[in-house]
Chains A and B, each alone.
Chain A
Amino acid sequence: MSNILQVNNLTREFKSGSKLLTVVNNINFGIEEGTSCAIVGPSGSGKTTLLGLCAGLDRPNSGEVILRGVNLNPLSEDDRASVRNKHVGFVFQTFQLVPTLTAIENVMVPLELRGEGTKEVRIRAKELLEEVGLGDRTHHYPTQLSGGEQQRVAIARAFINEPKILFADEPTGNLDTETGEYIEKLIFDLNEKQQTTLVLVTHDLELADKCDRIIKIKNGYVDADILKTKTEVIS
């Protein structure tokens, strides 16, 4: 199977006063289509920065990110946005819903951006909200929803464009254990159903363990890259 995401010699540095901090240091890996991969590591290890680079939200100082065969480096910001719109879904720790839009409108955004017909998009969004158990909350604003409900809306939004790859940044980090588990299940179920590749950044080793592969990051380097077999995961 081919790699949907290929990271070659990726380095990202930040200036902090007069010092140069290397947050991601010459990282290489590839992720096969349809698999799930957890990026784990302690706080400040560079995992979120790595996720941002992989999703084309940031530019590296050196190295390259190839997403679905497209090198993101030479693309303009808008071209990368277009790549994300077509192939990428996001789930964030802080949910990142647009506070001024209702639940259903939040879910509709990625498809509406493509210019697809509102009616179909609305039907699809409603189906997804029902799938995540929020069929009766479609017209609620984010402030009227609990944290778990907000994250469910975010998951529905992430899957509406049937992404080839889903990036999730600590998706359960802001939730209690019970809600967190429910969200995990939702993500994995939808992932499986849509055959999406999942890239997950987490502190939670239990959650990471549910993925096919775990990349451990420490001080900007890949500390370990553990590839698990499907059977292992199931067991």
Chain B
Amino acid sequence: MNWSWVFKMAWRDSRSNRRKLFLYMAAIIVGVAAQVAITSFRVNLNSSINDQAKELLGADLEVERNSEFQPELVAYLDSISFDQSKMLAFTSMASFPKSGTTRLSQISAMDGGFPYYGVIETEPSIASETYLKEYGALVDQTILTQLELVPGDSVKIGFITYEISGAIIDVPGQSTASSFFGPRVIIPLVGVENTGLLERGSRLEHKMYVKYLEGIDPKVVEERLDAMNDVTDFRFDDVEERREEVGEAISQLSNFLNLIGFIALLLGGIGIASSIFVYIRQKINTVALLRCVGASSDQTMFIYLIQATAMGFVGAFIGALLGTLVQLYLPVLVQDFIPVDIELFISWGSVFTGLATGVVISLIFALFPLIAVRKISPLFTLRSAEINLSKLLSIPTRIILFGIIGIAITGYAWFMLNDLKAAIFFTIGFAFCLLLLAGFSVLVMKASRKFVPTGWSYEWRQGLANLYRPNNQTTTLLLTFGLGVTLISSLYLTQDMLLGTINFSGEDDLPNLALFDIQYDQNEGVNSIIEENGLEIMQNVPIVTMRLQSVKNIPLEEILADTSRNARRWALNREYRSTYRDSLIDTETLESGKYISSVENLNNHVPVSVSTDLMEDLDVALGDTIVWDVQGIPIPSYIASTRTVNWQTPQPNFFVVFPTGVLEPAPQFFATTVRTTSREASVSIQQQIVQAYPNVSAIDVGQIISTIREFLDKITFIIQFIGLFSIITGLIVLAGSAATSRFQRIREAVLLRTLGAKQNQVVKIQIIEYVLLGVMAALIGLTLSVGASALLGYFYFDIEFIPNFVILGTEVVILVLLVLIIGLLNTRGIHTKPPLEILRAEGL
């Protein structure tokens, strides 16, 4: 083949088309930018994690247990380390006297030493050292800012008032997000017992941070601790494990984002395919002529293949540049969730991968029209004919091309996810969505052809007819825009669905304030404060803590030592907080057996009711026996009934419920739920109760909802940010497709105006067409997203999905406006000028 001529011809032929070609390129730019940004960021992040691995934990080893460490564990830790740091972690109300606010907080009492790697970043920085000596407290910066507090103000934890030494900015191994569900407060371990919180029902976590002596092999420590852990119940984490956990979490997040970004790239691919189709259609005469004067089918195909490759390369190159810039912004988005400082650098590997992906995607999607070039007959020089390029391809060729695209998509998804099955599912899901959208566009075109009412005005009939006439934009728009809308809208709706399930603050019959850890002797006092405030107590539930002693007559130690057991470790080891009552409550449904309300004879096994999820995790069946260790006293029981529990309500719910007549004499505390009338009433009563009973914790449902909303907002913003790339690509593809049809639109508009159409008639036809397109794309996209959200709700979140019509309505309006604006921009300037001037300017 005469390659030099092919290249020369590709170059010459592109000269007057470069503006058009740029639009085609633009479709790939955004997708490549998303890919490069995300993969580079992932590389940056992984390298930061590796560099700062030890700072992820702040020590070589972290051991934690819900009670005091066993002597053998302490002895072992002593043998491997000299530097040890103890911590007690618990949740409690923190009261800020200056602002008169109380907040359920995560308290850590530390004894110094920690962290051995990295530092606790505080403001002022000296505070991380002085708080121990001065018996001060470090408090999360976010809450200080929120309550307008400064170092020097005070915080009251239990009975002790600490001076705030400084604001916590960063603690090794913790992300800012860890303070979402309660601000972090660090106080000295020495004297923590004086808070009065340690004995009063609070759930304490004992932690030990250890720095290994030199020469200690972490693997040996891990093996030894694993062996000890078979019989005792403690958890531990070392640097390697933490790095794997964090790395795993990050790779899952970035895989997910990568896939969303990849969709933008694929949409760009579809945009390229459709643009090249239009481009080649305009080149049919040139191709036919070249064939006529002796060019071979390969030569003509390569002319356009070279152009497509060059275009893909330039697009990918600009995309890679843009992606590198976007990468700089990504840390701002995710820094709250990442426990390391992200060091930014250009990841050349990611840039090259992005470049290659961009070129390959543009090429494989362009193959359809390009291979059709081979089939363009030289006869078209003699007879100009409206030909359908895709029909020039035989069915086997089309199957092969689809196969190539499928393999390429799966291959790339596999490369990103490292999971072939997931990659295949991704491709199938993507193809399914495209098929649905393409099917819908065929329906729209058929319907608009068939059902144009003859009585309609000319403008309406023309506008509608534009949906199916040659060079229509229906399929391209519905595919690209529809998919983008599906993606973004699914995110919105899912977020709304999740928030909806916890948004019970507006429901009158549900409590909106829950008080926990009320001691036996405090119960009456708390109740009377509530009543004095004129509020209604909805529940006042006694809670008794207990542990398992044996299950099905097998002692707990034996079950734990059995490696073939089905019961889950957490279920065997946990401290159970159970209640007793004579009936089920609204959030419970009897599943099997009979709920026995009370017992009189304590010599028999006690009939208890167990939640269905715990039945599975404990691997027990109805009638099985369980012996409970209720604070030293064994209480034999049998499972008399099972219940399903709706855990998503603010009432206290329980795994195990006892009948009345058994636990009453046991040491117990209470949980009380209240319905407050206003936010102020809720804040005021929390203050009064915490002032009188500092150990009582209050969960303010309104507070939790706003916290969760904030958390979800941040997460969904990241996803939407990446998802936005798909919408932008959709818009670019739309703009590209509109621009490529500008030629035909202008010819039509000019013809209509020559024949006497008024300017507003021509504009009206176009408005009708684009509004119809916008409505169709929005409707199909939104319908798919409602379907996707409903499926997510049903299979994944187990929530009944009710679409939010306000969100959907708003989306329809925005999308239709976007499509309309782009459509009208495309024909700008042709309505005000005389027809002849336009014909000359456009070179028609």
The answer to whether B8 touches A112 (Cβ under 8 A) is yes
* Residues of A in contact with B, size category: 20 to 34
A84-B292, A90-B292 given; A99·B377 CB < 8 A: no
The answer to whether B2 touches A85 (Cβ under 8 A) is no
The answer to whether B299 touches A113 (Cβ under 8 A) is yes
| 3 closest cross-chain pairs (CB), A and B | A85-B294, A78-B296, A115-B2
The answer to whether B5 touches A96 (Cβ under 8 A) is no
Q: Which of A96, A105, A115, A161 contacts B285 (CB 8 A)?
A: A96
State whether the Cβ of A4 lies closer than 8 Å to any Cβ in chain B: no
A84-B293, A90-B293, A90-B381 given; A113·B2 CB < 8 A: yes
A79-114 toward B: CB 8 Å interface, digit per residue (1/0)? 001101110001010101111110001000110111
Q: How far is the CA of A77 from the CA of B209 in the complex (A)?
A: 79
Chain B binding site: helix, strand, loop or mixed by DSSP?
Answer: helix
State whether the Cβ of A57 lies closer than 8 Å to any Cβ in chain B: yes
State whether the Cβ of A52 lies closer than 8 Å to any Cβ in chain B: yes
Q: How far is the CA of A101 from the CA of B12 in the complex (A)?
A: 6
The answer to whether A77 touches B297 (Cβ under 8 A) is yes
Q: Which residues of A contact B297 (CB under 8 A)?
A: 77-78, 81
- Nearest residue (CB) in A for B17 is A100
A99-B286, A115-B2, A141-B16 given; A81·B379 CB < 8 A: no
The answer to whether A113 touches B295 (Cβ under 8 A) is yes
The answer to whether A100 touches B293 (Cβ under 8 A) is no
Q: Which residues of A contact B377 (CB under 8 A)?
A: 57-58
State whether the Cβ of A2 lies closer than 8 Å to any Cβ in chain B: no
The answer to whether A96 touches B379 (Cβ under 8 A) is no
The answer to whether B384 touches A78 (Cβ under 8 A) is no
A-B contact pairs, 24 of them (CB 8 A): A48-B383, A57-B378, A57-B379, A77-B291, A77-B297, A81-B295, A81-B297, A82-B294, A84-B294, A92-B381, A94-B384, A98-B286, A98-B289, A100-B15, A100-B286, A109-B9, A112-B8, A113-B5, A113-B293, A115-B2, A141-B16, A143-B843, A161-B293, A161-B294
Q: Which residues of A contact B288 (CB under 8 A)?
A: 96
- Nearest residue (CB) in B for A97 is B289
Q: How far is the CA of A61 from the CA of B294 in the complex (A)?
A: 23
Q: Which residues of A contact B2 (CB under 8 A)?
A: 112-115
State whether the Cβ of B382 lies closer than 8 Å to any Cβ in chain A: yes
Q: Which residues of A contact B285 (CB under 8 A)?
A: 96
B275-302 toward A: CB 8 Å interface, digit per residue (1/0)? 0000000000110111111111111000
The answer to whether A78 touches B290 (Cβ under 8 A) is no
Q: Which of B13, B15, B378, B384 contacts A81 (CB 8 A)?
A: B378
Q: How far is the CA of A99 from the CA of B297 in the complex (A)?
A: 20
The answer to whether B290 touches A98 (Cβ under 8 A) is yes
- Nearest residue (CB) in B for A142 is B843
State whether the Cβ of B4 lies closer than 8 Å to any Cβ in chain A: yes
Q: Which of A51, A58, A92, A113 contacts B294 (CB 8 A)?
A: A113
B359-392 toward A: CB 8 Å interface, digit per residue (1/0)? 0000000000000000001110111100000000
State whether the Cβ of A157 lies closer than 8 Å to any Cβ in chain B: yes
Among A82, A84, A157, residue most surrounded by chain B Cβ atoms (within 10 Å): A84
A98-B13, A105-B12, A113-B2 given; A169·B293 CB < 8 A: no
The answer to whether B294 touches A96 (Cβ under 8 A) is no
The answer to whether A81 touches B289 (Cβ under 8 A) is no
Q: How far is the CA of A77 from the CA of B374 in the complex (A)?
A: 10
The answer to whether B382 touches A99 (Cβ under 8 A) is no
The answer to whether A78 touches B4 (Cβ under 8 A) is no
Q: How far is the CA of A51 from the CA of B295 in the complex (A)?
A: 19
A32-59 toward B: CB 8 Å interface, digit per residue (1/0)? 0000000000000000100110010110
Q: Which residues of B contact A90 (CB under 8 A)?
A: 292-293, 381
Chain A contacts with B in 92-151, Cβ cutoff 8 A: 92, 94, 96-101, 105, 109-110, 112-115, 141, 143
Other than the given A57-B292, A81-B291, A100-B13, 13 more pairs (CB < 8 A) read A51-B382, A57-B379, A78-B297, A78-B298, A90-B381, A92-B382, A97-B289, A98-B13, A101-B13, A109-B293, A113-B5, A113-B295, A161-B294
- Nearest residue (CB) in A for B13 is A100
- Nearest residue (CB) in B for A56 is B378
Q: How far is the CA of A85 from the CA of B290 in the complex (A)?
A: 10
The answer to whether A57 touches B295 (Cβ under 8 A) is no
- Nearest residue (CB) in A for B287 is A98
Q: How far is the CA of A110 from the CA of B9 in the complex (A)?
A: 12
B372 CB, nearest partner CB in chain A, Å: 14
The answer to whether B4 touches A115 (Cβ under 8 A) is yes
Among A51, A58, A109, residue most surrounded by chain B Cβ atoms (within 10 Å): A109
Q: Which residues of B contact A92 (CB under 8 A)?
A: 381-382
- Nearest residue (CB) in A for B380 is A57
Chain B contacts with A in 193-214, Cβ cutoff 8 A: none
A127 CB, nearest partner CB in chain B, Å: 19
A78-B297, A78-B298 given; A99·B381 CB < 8 A: no
Chain B contacts with A in 227-286, Cβ cutoff 8 A: 285-286
Q: How far is the CA of A52 from the CA of B295 in the complex (A)?
A: 17
The answer to whether B296 touches A82 (Cβ under 8 A) is yes
Q: Which residues of B contact A84 (CB under 8 A)?
A: 292-294, 378
Q: Which of B4, B286, B294, B298 contacts A110 (CB 8 A)?
A: B294
B306 CB, nearest partner CB in chain A, Å: 14
Q: Which of A52, A85, A97, A113 contacts B379 (CB 8 A)?
A: A52
The answer to whether A110 touches B379 (Cβ under 8 A) is no
Q: Which residues of A contact B17 (CB under 8 A)?
A: 100
Q: Which of A97, A100, A114, A161 contacts B16 (CB 8 A)?
A: A100
Q: How far is the CA of A58 from the CA of B382 in the complex (A)?
A: 10
Q: How far is the CA of A92 from the CA of B843 in the complex (A)?
A: 21
Q: How far is the CA of A98 from the CA of B381 in the complex (A)?
A: 11
The answer to whether A86 touches B294 (Cβ under 8 A) is yes
Q: How far is the CA of A157 from the CA of B2 in the complex (A)?
A: 19
A66 CB, nearest partner CB in chain B, Å: 19
The answer to whether B383 touches A81 (Cβ under 8 A) is no
- Nearest residue (CB) in A for B285 is A96
Q: Which residues of B contact A77 (CB under 8 A)?
A: 291, 297
A55 CB, nearest partner CB in chain B, Å: 8
Q: How far is the CA of A85 from the CA of B291 in the complex (A)?
A: 9
The answer to whether B12 touches A100 (Cβ under 8 A) is yes
The answer to whether A48 touches B290 (Cβ under 8 A) is no
Q: How far is the CA of A109 from the CA of B13 in the complex (A)?
A: 12
Q: How far is the CA of A169 from the CA of B378 in the complex (A)?
A: 14
Q: Which residues of A contact B379 (CB under 8 A)?
A: 52, 57-58
Q: How far is the CA of A51 from the CA of B383 in the complex (A)?
A: 12
A160-179 toward B: CB 8 Å interface, digit per residue (1/0)? 01000000010000000000
Q: Which residues of A contact B289 (CB under 8 A)?
A: 96-98
Q: How far is the CA of A112 from the CA of B151 in the complex (A)?
A: 82
Q: Which residues of A contact B843 (CB under 8 A)?
A: 143
B27-50 toward A: CB 8 Å interface, digit per residue (1/0)? 000000000000000000000000
Q: How far is the CA of A101 from the CA of B289 in the complex (A)?
A: 13
A98 CB, nearest partner CB in chain B, Å: 5
Q: How far is the CA of A14 from the CA of B843 in the complex (A)?
A: 35
Q: Which residues of B contact A105 (CB under 8 A)?
A: 12
- Nearest residue (CB) in A for B294 is A85
A102 CB, nearest partner CB in chain B, Å: 8
Q: Which residues of A contact B9 (CB under 8 A)?
A: 109, 112
- Nearest residue (CB) in A for B384 is A94
Q: How far is the CA of A90 from the CA of B380 in the complex (A)?
A: 13
B293 CB, nearest partner CB in chain A, Å: 5
A100-B15, A113-B295, A113-B299 given; A57·B382 CB < 8 A: yes
Q: Which residues of A contact B15 (CB under 8 A)?
A: 100
Chain B contacts with A in 479-521, Cβ cutoff 8 A: none
Q: Which of B5, B291, B298, B383 contacts A112 (CB 8 A)?
A: B5
Q: Which residues of B contact A113 (CB under 8 A)?
A: 2, 5, 290, 293-295, 299
Q: Which residues of A contact B8 (CB under 8 A)?
A: 112
The answer to whether B382 touches A109 (Cβ under 8 A) is no
B431-449 toward A: CB 8 Å interface, digit per residue (1/0)? 0000000000000000000
Q: Which residues of A contact B16 (CB under 8 A)?
A: 99-100, 141
Q: Which residues of A contact B378 (CB under 8 A)?
A: 57, 81, 84
